[in-house]
């Protein structure tokens, strides 16, 4: 059973509908007892780091995730769910879960590309350059684009966990992967067919590269 962690952060319904579309059964819960029974976890999220962490702590989900990740079962982070698995987020100056070393940083004020000031949030379709193959990106074209909407980006301290990067006036880590964890800044549930393919792959993945 796939479990989507519900922590009052945004796009849970979109992720659920995408899973429905690819014919996967799931539960949505914030109950650690029910989460214990899950074979894989999706950790989505839209919103602000401060509030999200406060809710996760209140429900003991931060500690639960640290234990879960050691079981070797797969974990998928999406958007805010990716940002807060790092140690720290500049958003609301928040101490985060710390499954991966590093922090989440705000885009610099003045991002310039080809003489034009870039807008923040980074909103819209952009591509991802993968540094190695990963089962979760099987059958996804390197030319595919994904839907991003964010003002902060992951900045892991160890380059070895960077699976993919995206260019937006600078190069930032848009996909990180470490053992049974894969986490992306973009929204696969809103990225058309390539996004649905990623979710399908994740649902079949055993957590090993």
Partner 1 sequence: MLSKRIIPCLDVRDGKLTKGIKFKGNVDIGDPVEVAREYYEQGADEIVFYDITASSDKRDILIDVVRRVAETIFIPFSVGGGIRNLEDMRRVILAGAEKVSVNSAAVDNPKIITQGANAFGSQCIVLGMDVKKVEVSGKTPSGYEIVIHGGRIFTGIDALWWAKEAEKLGAGEICLNSIDADGMQTGYELNLTKMISENVCIPVIASGGAGKPEHLAEVLTEGKADAALIASMVHYRTYTITEIKQFLSEKQIKTRMLW
Interacting residues toward partner 1 by CB under 8 A: 10-11, 13-14, 17-18, 20-21, 46-48, 113, 117-126, 141, 143-145, 147, 149-151, 167-168, 187, 189-196
Residue tagged active-site, from 91, 96, 187, 203: 187
Known catalytic residue at 173: no
Shortest reach from residue 200's CB to partner 1, in Å: 12
Instruction: Rank residues 14 and 32 by Cβ distance to partner 1 and give the closer one.
Output: 14
Give the torsion through C-alpha atoms of 137, 142, 143, 144, to 10 deg. 10
Instruction: Rank residues 21 and 133 by Cβ distance to partner 1 and give the closer one.
Output: 21
Give the torsion through C-alpha atoms of 77, 82, 85, 90, to 10 deg. -170
The DSSP 8-state label assigned to residue 119 in this structure reads P
Shortest reach from residue 67's CB to partner 1, in Å: 29
How far, rounded to the nearest angstrom, does the alpha carbon of residue 122 sit from its chain's CA centroid? 16
CA distance 203 to 41: 9
Extended beta strands in 44-196, E state = 75-78, 88-89, 94-95, 102-106, 112-113, 116-117, 122-127, 129-130, 145-150, 152-156, 162-167, 171-178, 181-184
Known catalytic residue at 96: no
Instruction: Rank residues 43 and 168 by Cβ distance to partner 1 and give the closer one.
Output: 168
Shortest reach from residue 93's CB to partner 1, in Å: 18
| Tokens representing residue 164 in the block | 């993919």
Instruction: Rank residues 14 and 103 by Cβ distance to partner 1 and give the closer one.
Output: 14
Which residues are CB-neighbours of 28 under 8 A, at least 6 positions away?
3, 4, 6, 12, 16
Shortest reach from residue 75's CB to partner 1, in Å: 22
The catalytic site residues sit at 79, 187, 189
């Amino acid at each position: 059973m796939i479990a989507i962690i519900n922590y009052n952060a945004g796009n849970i319904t979109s992720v659920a509908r995408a899973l429905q579309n690819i014919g996967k059964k799931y539960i949505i819960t914030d109950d650690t007892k029910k989460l214990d029974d899950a074979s894989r976890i999706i950790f989505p999220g839209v919103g602000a780091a401060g509030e999200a962490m406060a809710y996760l702590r209140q429900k003991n989900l931060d500690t639960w995730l640290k234990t879960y990740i050691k079981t070797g079962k797969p974990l998928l982070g999406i958007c805010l769910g990716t940002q807060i698995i790092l140690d720290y987020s500049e958003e609301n100056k928040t101490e985060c879960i710390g499954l991966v070393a590093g922090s989440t940083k705000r885009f610099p004020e003045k991002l310039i590309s080809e003489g034009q000031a870039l807008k923040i949030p980074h909103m819209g379709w952009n591509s991802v350059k993968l540094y190695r193959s990963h089962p979760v990106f099987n059958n996804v074209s390197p030319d595919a684009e994904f839907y991003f909407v964010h003002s902060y980006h992951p900045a892991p301290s160890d380059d070895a966990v960077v699976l993919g990067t995206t260019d937006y006036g600078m190069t930032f880590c848009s996909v990180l992967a470490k053992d049974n964890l894969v986490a992306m800044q973009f929204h696969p549930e809103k990225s058309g067919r390539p996004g649905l393919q990623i979710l399908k792959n994740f649902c079949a993945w055993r957590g090993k590269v």
